[in-house]
A and B are shown apart, each in its own frame.
Chain A
Amino acid sequence: MNHISLTINKKMYSIDVEEDVRLIDLLRDQLFLTGTKEGCGEGECGACTVIMDGRVVNSCLVMAFQAEGSNITTIEGMSDKDELHPIQKAFLDKGAVQCGFCTPGMVLSAKSLLDKNENPTREEIREGISGNLCRCTGYNKIVDAIELASKEIREEKKE
């Protein structure tokens, strides 16, 4: 058993975790943050994507004890209370969600991309989400949505 402290979605946690518990298990099973999805459990699909200290990680490949002291954003931390994040809004507006299983991971990869590159080209967007598999949408409307979000975020900043 390890005792770890970490910040998730701006909230501090101090919690006991077993050695063999992965970050995704901690999030889903111990903290009930079930927005993070498990697709493959082996780092191939990106459904479990979260942002850890500013970088996207596959939470199925990170052990919970490795998250000690880290700062994590999950899909539950994207919206500001009831106000959706511009990326989430754009996903809705562009019809970028079908079954929704890849969506939390896609939104977080998009956030991480736009945090680093405010105005990406469509090709850069494709690259930014290339670690996230989607079986439903063929990605094009997701690319549209991230393009729209990037525009909205830049405009918001101007105001």
Chain B
Amino acid sequence: MKKRGKGIAATFYGTGYGNGFPDVSKAVAEVDHDGNVNIYVCATEVGQGAKTIIIQMVAEILGLGMNDIHLISEDTSQTLDTGTAAASRQTYNTGNAVKKAVEVLKSKLLEKAKEHLKLPSLLGLEVKDKVIYLKTFPKKRVCFKDLIEEKISVEETFTAQTVQMDEETGQGAPYWPYTFSCYGVEVEVDTETGIIEVIKGVCAQDVGRAINPELIEGQIDGGFSMGLGYGIMEKLNCKDGEIKNNKFSKYLIPTALDMPELEKIIVEDPESSAPFGAKGIGEPVILPAAPAILNAIYDAIGVRFYEIPVTPDKVLSEINREI
């Protein structure tokens, strides 16, 4: 018999290394004598879109097109340390470092332009497409190339706030910021085979501010599929410290047929300490999937599972025990 059930789960996730551990990102922003804008970071791109959103942030601050920005990343001979692409921290931490560096660079450019244009004040000076001009009298203008004889380079550091938890009491403020997620799923449990199929999912994800909604949707899809595998398929099977399921024929991960269509809801509530309000979602998007699925299994067959993955053999043995 096939039985259906629905379940929800809400989770929160602390960004960064946390628990008092130093969490530092450094970025360099420069304009060279040809007027080129170069950004140096070491935010490893693994497909999550770090490079894209860093370029978007720079473009926003300097009024440039994305193709006008030269990003030098992941080359440790040229870049400073921006920490690992882990802990869902690059958007927040490196984003903050980049934003700081580019804003200082911009104010230096404006200061230079003020002198060059012989203006008494910075008021009304705007930057767009490598030109600085006076909003009220745009003929007063100078392009980056004519303004800069020697390259201007700005290095900035962002250090996240974190409090180590008290070992005795467990009290503290280990993370800042937190990111919230809530997923609802519907499953169908085959009581003869024990196979669980996730047939629908609705994912609401807090992002602070969506710098790139398409990338966020892609991350939600990917995170959901990892959470689905985590909840009902993926088992390392460690015996005496050895991973037994060490190949894809034994360690099963979701295929396209295992993934449901997802309805995605991006929740924007800008975080005051974040660049443009944006938080990272790499790991948060994984978290609610497994608990929501387990709740839906309970709704479908009335069995509470306290261990994952809930594989077909476990479902069957629980169903048989109930009878």
Contact = CB atoms under 8 A, between A and B. Distances in A.
Interface in A99-152: 99-100, 122, 125-127, 129-143
Contacts of B223: 138
B257 interface: yes
Contact of B47 (A97, A125, A131, A138): A97
A44 B256 contact: no
Nearest to A137: B222
Contacts of B214: 95
Contacts of B71: none
A138 B257 contact: no
A40 interface: yes
B256 A98 contact: no
B249 to A, nearest CB: 5
A40 B256 contact: no
Nearest to A140: B221
A98 B222 contact: yes
A122 B262 CA distance: 13
A44 B248 contact: yes
Contacts of A141: 217-218, 221
Interface string A35-77: 0000110101100000000000000000000000000000000
B215 A95 contact: yes
A136 B222 contact: yes
Contacts of A138: 218, 220-226, 254, 259, 262
A136 B223 CA distance: 8
B248 A40 contact: yes
B253 interface: yes
A130 B218 contact: no
A61 B79 CA distance: 41
B121 interface: no
Nearest to B46: A99
Nearest to B262: A140
Contacts of A139: 221, 225, 254-256, 259
Contacts of A130: 255-257
Contact of A136 (B47, B248, B255): B47
A97 B221 CA distance: 12
Contacts of A127: 256-257
B239 interface: no
B261 interface: yes
A127 B255 CA distance: 9
Q: Please indicate which of the listed interface residues B215, B255, B257 has the most CB atoms of chain A within 10 Å of its own CB.
A: B255
> Which of A98, A130, A141 has most chain B Cβ within 10 Å?
A98
Contacts of A136: 47, 218, 222
B201 to A, nearest CB: 10
B247 A42 contact: yes
Nearest to A99: B47
A133 B253 CA distance: 8
Interface string A80-101: 0000000000000001011110
Nearest to B255: A130
9 contacts: A40-B247, A40-B248, A44-B247, A44-B248, A135-B253, A137-B218, A138-B222, A138-B225, A140-B259
Given A135-B222, A139-B254, A139-B256, 6 more contacts: A98-B47, A98-B48, A130-B256, A137-B222, A138-B262, A139-B221
Interface of B: 46-49, 214-215, 217-218, 220-226, 247-249, 253-257, 259, 261-262
Interface of A: 39-40, 42, 44-45, 95, 97-100, 122, 125-127, 129-143
